[in-house]
Structure 1
Amino acid sequence: MDEQRYRSNYALVEFSEHLGTDPDALDIPWAEFVGDESTERVFRVPVEGAVDGYVTIQAFDVGTYGHEVLINGEALSGFDLPPAAGWQCWMDVLTGATLRAGENAIQIRRDTESGDDFAVGTVRVNWREPTSDVDSI
């Protein structure tokens, strides 16, 4: 009986965006102020059957819990970005959202109940994908 083989794959998604209420709250001229939601970014998954997905998020000056990461319009479960002064790199498992073959979308949504201002740099979306024996050589 043949066992399904997998390989790891990923997509880098560049945001460089400042989410918040005040465009002057952070001294980050490289980040575009976007308000409560980041721009929806698109990335590709080349095959059907992607599993074990997770995101690694580079964020700056997150002040409160409650902000959300959305994959294909579905919010990940649990808290997605913990508070931390300065830069952080945070990993979150894709629970509550599914990757599909072809185009996928990712977006960051700020908790509007907070007065938090923070920035999102680069996000890496990771998954395992099925491969044939020929591909794994």
Structure 2
Amino acid sequence: MDQPTRANYALLTVQEHLGDSADGLDVSWAEFVGNHRSSEFEFTVPTEPVIDPYLELQIFDISAYDHEILVNGDALTGFDIPPADGWQYWMDPITGADLVEGTNTLRFVRDASTGDDFVIGTVTIHWKEPVE
């Protein structure tokens, strides 16, 4: 018999603007953090194993495929965020990186060669965990 699981998640409020210039987008509510990477955000996973992890992110004005999402310092596989004008809400499986019991980290890395300016709004990390 399969062990029962329950859903769990962590919500991160990022609100950061990555780009060449703070004037690249009219988003005064988002903190401009430069042209390379976001702050590193921590979240807690209370148990192992972590089953079927994925994340959902709210993102504004992506123009290129080449930006990366890092979980615990490891880049997710495949392209992470598709280009789209305005706000979008995107789901990405967590592959190529592992969630672990305890503290985990999330960071966005901008491909500076693209000249792209974008804003990360919120990120929700989802997973299933065993019910004891």
- Residue 64 of structure 1 pairs with residue 44 of structure 2: no
> Which position in structure 2 is the counterpart of 1:19?
18
Q: Which residues in structure 2 correspond to 1:63-82 (within 5 Å)?
A: 63-82=63-82
* Residues 34-88 of structure 1: per-residue CA shift (max 9 Å, x gap): 1110000000000010110001010000111110100000000001111000000
> Which position in structure 2 is the counterpart of 1:33?
32
> 2 CA distance for matches of 1:13 and 1:50?
18
Residue 3 of structure 1 deviates from its aligned partner by 2.5
Fraction of identical pairs, as percent? 52
> 2 CA distance for matches of 1:87 and 1:22?
20
The two structures have a TM-score, normalised by structure 2, of 0.97
> 2 CA distance for matches of 1:50 and 1:101?
8
User: Match of 1:12, as an amino acid?
Assistant: L
- Residue 105 of structure 1 pairs with residue 100 of structure 2: no
> 2 CA distance for matches of 1:94 and 1:50?
11
> Which position in structure 1 is the counterpart of 2:127?
127
Residue 5 of structure 1 deviates from its aligned partner by 1.0
> 2 CA distance for matches of 1:70 and 1:51?
18
The two structures have a TM-score, normalised by structure 1, of 0.93
> 2 CA distance for matches of 1:68 and 1:55?
13
> Which position in structure 2 is the counterpart of 1:91?
91
- Residue 5 of structure 1 pairs with residue 4 of structure 2: yes
**Residue-pair matches, total:** 131
> 1 CA distance for matches of 2:2 and 2:17?
45
> 2 CA distance for matches of 1:46 and 1:17?
27
User: Match of 2:53, as an amino acid?
Assistant: G
* Residues 85-107 of structure 1: per-residue CA shift (max 9 Å, x gap): 00000000001000000000000
Rg larger in 1 or in 2?
1
